[in-house]
Homo-oligomer: A and B are copies of this chain.
Amino acid sequence: MAIAGKDTPRERYRAQLRAEIKQHAWEQIAAAGAPGLSLNAIAKQMGMSGPALYRYFAGRDELITELIRDAYRSLADTIRATADSGADLAGLGHALRAWALDDPQRYFLIYGTPVPGYHAPDDITTIASEIMGALLDAAQLGDTPADTPDDSRLEAHLAEHREWAAGHPAPPSAVRRALLFWTRLHGVLSLELAGQFTGMGLDPAELYFSELRHLTR
């Protein structure tokens, strides 16, 4: 019977083919972005014809959702592994940038333009808060940031609304630092990946590391 078993040869074949489909999907997304993903083209690449893929994914949306989940998972693992290896916030910043540059479209799948109708499943927000947790851990360890002056209004707001931190014991100043880490690095990084700095002649890495220095000094 093997109700939840995954050891039957069919299950293993199925899992392997699903992975192969996702592999081709990633290549298409890297080449032409998420809207350029075509189930038909993937099937043709794999030597099988069209509707066969619907045995493995309910449709284009489910495939993309799965890819988003994998992207979150990959980022969370990267951040967590970097943190576990003893890195501080600066190290996390470097890891984040390397991860993003490794596959810009994967970054945009997470933090890019959202599709208006789409709602992320619950487990994705779980992974997202796992990332936030790792950031909070690291933001708590460093010494207090010297360059960011007090902002009593923001810190009061953060002290009130911290249910999202899921009981994380970080003080408001660390919460603030983690949020700034997120928003400021995303600001530089997303503009760089979108190519908004090309033609301006300046090096996006300089901007990014300058922000990172401010956050971790």
**Does the CB pair B149–A210 fall under 8 Å?**
no
Give the interface segment out of A3-11, A32-40, A76-84: A32-40
0/1 per residue, A125-168, Cβ < 8 Å to B?
A: 10000000000000000000011110101100110011110000
Interface residues of A in 83-132 (CB under 8 A from B): 105, 108, 111-117, 125
**Contacting A187 at CB < 8 Å: which of B116, B149, B164, B185?**
B185
Q: Could you give 24 example pairs across A and B, Cβ below 8 Å?
A: A33-B113, A33-B116, A35-B35, A105-B116, A108-B113, A112-B112, A113-B113, A113-B194, A114-B194, A114-B195, A146-B149, A149-B214, A154-B210, A157-B202, A161-B200, A161-B202, A161-B203, A162-B201, A164-B202, A183-B187, A184-B184, A186-B187, A186-B191, A187-B190
Residues of A within 8 A of B (CB): 31-36, 105, 108, 111-117, 125, 146-149, 151, 153-154, 157-158, 161-164, 179, 182-188, 190-191, 194-196, 199-203, 206-207, 210-211, 213-214, 217
